[in-house]
Amino acid sequence: MAIITGFLLGLGTMLFVGPVFFYLLKSTLESGFKAGVAVALGIILGDVICAAIAMSWSHLFLNNSAFDFWASIIGGSILLIIGLKYTFKPNLNTTVKAKIKKRSTIFYFANGFLINFINPFVFAIWIGFVSYNQSLYNEASTLLSIGITLLVIFSTDVLKAFFAQRLSHFIQPKMLGRVFQVFGIVMIGFAIRLLTFPFL
């Protein structure tokens, strides 16, 4: 039963269309499937850490106003900078050399991790997932369910990158620029939401 719970929770995360979703698609369209997988690896690393924190110290973060405030301000600022960059100066160069690709893979991995990890809503989701599992199962089954959820999240992110890359063959540079600008505007929207979160 824990396996089914973990699988369904993992599929449920596909309904959460957050900043990492748009960054994953943009990165894949910009630099290919390899960059998308790098973002997916960064995202799942952030999720693993968030899940571990939620399982170990969830009580420390519940109703912690100081944590909510600084996570929202720092996370919102990072998302705002990224959003402004891709709104006003999108990078349309998809023919980069191998050395640059290798460097950009690390860059995409780091950005995928940061955009996911600094989002307080991700912590809230994992605290909810962990609390739900702990209310149903013992420690071993909870670990199994969370592990399955993480596996499903990573698998679906890789699939998103795979299909985004296929679509990129039909997108002209002008249209690609507009896609990146839409991504930037969406990121700015998430940034504003995070920056105003502590004051609402």
Of the spans 84-88, 92-96, 153-157, 178-182, which averages the highest pLDDT?
153-157
**What pLDDT was estimated at residue 59?**
55
Number of domains in the chain: 1
Is residue 8 predicted with pLDDT exceeding 70? yes
- C-alpha–C-alpha distance, residues 2 and 39, integer Å: 28
Whether 87 shows a pLDDT value over 70: the answer reads yes
Task: Calculate ∠ Cα 183-117-166, nearest 5°.
Answer: 40
Check residue 43 and give its pLDDT: 94
Average pLDDT, stretch 178-186? 76
Q: Is the pLDDT of residue 167 over 70?
A: no
Mean local confidence (pLDDT), 147-159: 94
Q: Which two tokens stand for residue 158?
A: 């890789």
pTM: 0.69
- The whole-number average pLDDT for the span 72-91 is 74
Number of H-type helices and E-type strands within the chain: 8, 0
pLDDT at 178: 76
Structural domain boundaries, residue 106: 2-199
